[in-house]
Amino acid sequence: MRFEVIPAEVTEHEAHDADPREMVKHNAALKAEWVAARHPDATVIGADTTVFIGRTVLNKPRDPAEARTMLKLRAGRTHTVFTWLAIRRPSDGLKLDQGVASEVTFKAFDDAALELYLSRVHTLDKAGGYAIQEQGELIIAGFTGSLTNIVGLPLEEMKQLLTRAGLTR
């Protein structure tokens, strides 16, 4: 089976006041449908992920100060990592969707622990300004749900969707 990565040329909805689950659902479908329209015989996977606490969406921080603020906001608290998976195959009308939520609880860390974390991890390219797989023991108390969702893509759920699409054994 041949795979190809094709970035969708779309403008994603990323408003800080949007419902995070609806925002991610919209973006994943938008990306999948844009690529599928240009490759109607392909099975296309679109995905989008966000981090939020309450209704506050925490995308990738713009600068180190914003990363610091995002991390402090969650000290001693639990937040959600939410991914929407969208599979499209126009040739036979296949349309599969699934949302995946994981919860991450941060330790009640002090400024020294925060500064140590920031000195060791490049936070600007990560939703929510952190990576569970990079020095996570400094700030993370625990998680529930899919670890692969928190890291980047929920592999277990993706395999289930691909099986439903007839692409795995």
- Count of positions (residues) in the chain: 169
CB 113, CB 121: distance < 8 Å:
no
Of 29, 15, 32, the residue nearest 99 (C-alpha): 29
Per the CB < 8 A criterion, the answer to whether 28 and 46 are in contact is: yes
User: What is the distance between the alpha carbons of residues 73 and 114, in angstroms, rounded to a whole number?
Assistant: 12
The token duo for 56 is: 């506050």
DSSP 31: H
| Active site residues per annotation | 48
Residues 52/18, Cβ–Cβ less than 8 Å: no
